[in-house]
Structure 1
């Protein structure tokens, strides 16, 4: 299980962007980075630095998955036919915790992972507690009996800052993963550059 130990919103400030589009993000008030040197003048960033930031931002958006998991996802994307950057996004969007998040069963990707890890999610009629499990088009993802009345689930369903994307359909407490999305279909609050991530790993 991947657990983010430090403050989640520090990533927002380090990136200088509200990467989850949340109203609570400190970037809405302070655009400079965290720490005592956060306001110092920024030096010119190298190509490597730009690629690294793109990787950290994308990895952070998906709940700060471990480097090992993220690299494995990239390796799988390389093996697939077609554009590697599109494949990478498609594989990340197929993670069970991300489908739970997209279906608005959880207010944040971190909460979605917690719900999955605690066994509150049913995939195709069977309980699944593996957040990184890959969901395929046509698969159904459903809230367990106890989860339907959980406060954070009710909170998530009332959120107005994000909508359920077209590649996920909702019928009450059940969601169906319709298809693997392309980059332009994914509702990122900020610009993601998976092509730079591909360049980072292919150096």
Structure 2
């Protein structure tokens, strides 16, 4: 499990965007970076800086995936047929913690990862505590008995700030089926993501 060493919302302020689209985000009140120099005028970014920023934003959105895991996903995406940037998004969306988040079993990607690591999630009826597990099309993800009664899960299912995407089919608020690997256009990002810049960053 990836452990955040700093406040997750600092990423919002560093990027100047509400990355997860949450009403609690401080960017809604302060649209400048964290720290005593956050309000200084920002200099123009180089091509490398733009690519790095795109990578950090995408990596941060998926729960601050470790650099090692993220690089491994890029390598796998580049080996697959087709557009590498689309393949990368598909692999990220197939992570178990992300499917749990998309199904609205958890209010945040960090809470989704915690649900998985604490053994509250079943994949095809079998307990799985590996958040980075790649889900296949047709796999059924379900909540354990204790999880169904958790306040965190009930809160997530009542959230109006995001909808369940079409590539995740939910039944009775306790079972979800991953129906297909989405394209970039289908993924409901609150902000613009540029995986093509991430590919440029790694292929330098």
User: If the length of structure 1 is used for normalisation, what is the TM-score?
Assistant: 1.00
> How big is the alpha-carbon RMSD for the aligned residues of Structure 1 and Structure 2?
0.4
Deviation at 1:98, TM superposition (A): 0.0
Deviation at 1:125, TM superposition (A): 1.0
Deviation at 1:168, TM superposition (A): 0.2
Give the equivalent residue in structure 1 for 2:198: 197
Give the equivalent residue in structure 2 for 1:179: 180
Deviation at 1:5, TM superposition (A): 1.8
Deviation at 1:41, TM superposition (A): 1.1
Aligned partners of 1:40, 1:174: CA distance in 2, in Å? Answer: 48
1:2-45 alpha-carbon deviations (Å, 9 max, x no partner) = 11120010000000000000000000011100000000111111
Report the 3-state secondary structure (helix = DSSP H, G, I; strand = E; otherwise coil) of the residue aligned with 2:14: helix
Aligned partners of 2:198, 2:21: CA distance in 1, in Å? Answer: 21
Deviation at 1:193, TM superposition (A): 0.1
Alignment of structure 1 residues 21-170 onto 2, 5 Å:
21-170=21-170
Report the 3-state secondary structure (helix = DSSP H, G, I; strand = E; otherwise coil) of the residue aligned with 1:33: coil
1:108-153 alpha-carbon deviations (Å, 9 max, x no partner) = 0000000000000000010000000000110000000000000100
Structure 1: which 5+ residue stretches go unaligned? none
Give the equivalent residue in structure 1 for 2:12: 12
Report the 3-state secondary structure (helix = DSSP H, G, I; strand = E; otherwise coil) of the residue aligned with 1:141: strand
User: If the length of structure 2 is used for normalisation, what is the TM-score?
Assistant: 0.99
Deviation at 1:72, TM superposition (A): 0.2
Report the 3-state secondary structure (helix = DSSP H, G, I; strand = E; otherwise coil) of the residue aligned with 2:5: coil
1:54-81 alpha-carbon deviations (Å, 9 max, x no partner) = 0000000000010000000000000100
1:70-115 alpha-carbon deviations (Å, 9 max, x no partner) = 0000000001000000000000000000000000000000000000
Which aligned runs of 4 or more in structure 1 are off by greater than 2 angstroms? none
